[in-house]
A and B are shown apart, each in its own frame.
Chain A
Amino acid sequence: SQQGEEDPQALSIQEGENATMNCSYKTSINNLQWYRQNSGRGLVHLILIRSNEREKHSGRLRVTLDTSKKSSSLLITASRAADTASYFCATFYNQAGTALIFGKGTTLSVSS
């Protein structure tokens, strides 16, 4: 499988600071996605980056992808207390399939 693994496992920052989370995966990908999960809730899609893209922005989110290193990073700028959640990168269970698989995630805690 192409499971991604995030690091750090946990990150604590103050409001206004930037948060950077990293993801590494094992095999070739067509795209990589980032999701967010508030405690005990369903996952919410944040952003998708395709294999031919190096960087993508969405609001306060910036995602980079380095296919040569098989890694991606998610940057949240000017973090808010409401950003407190777990963040997961997702790749495909099978390269030809549609099912996503998730790493263990980074738990972000933003204090005010």
Chain B
Amino acid sequence: DAGVTQSPTHLIKTRGQQVTLRCSPKSGHDTVSWYQQALGQGPQFIFQYYEEEERQRGNFPDRFSGHQFPNYSSELNVNALLLGDSALYLCASSLGRWEGPTEAFFGQGTRLTVV
């Protein structure tokens, strides 16, 4: 049973460019959340997708956008990259219906470096 998979594992971009990160959730999961983890910090919630819609969003600018596909996989897009966007981007999958809080399963992350 494959867990959460993210691609690519590493990425280097130039300021002002755009980037797309990809995530496939754990089998049986229908919800994908994205987190940004800066060096030495805990992960910060960017947004969550459920039923192909953004269900909740954290305190991130509109430069950060996403998409969820019918197979539950997801993309995170970041436009107009800033040096401060350099971080580990984590994808987490879980079950979407609120029947009680369930643990999220995380991928290994995509390390984005903006130069």
Q: Do A and B bind each other?
A: no
Interface residues of B (CB under 8 A from A): none
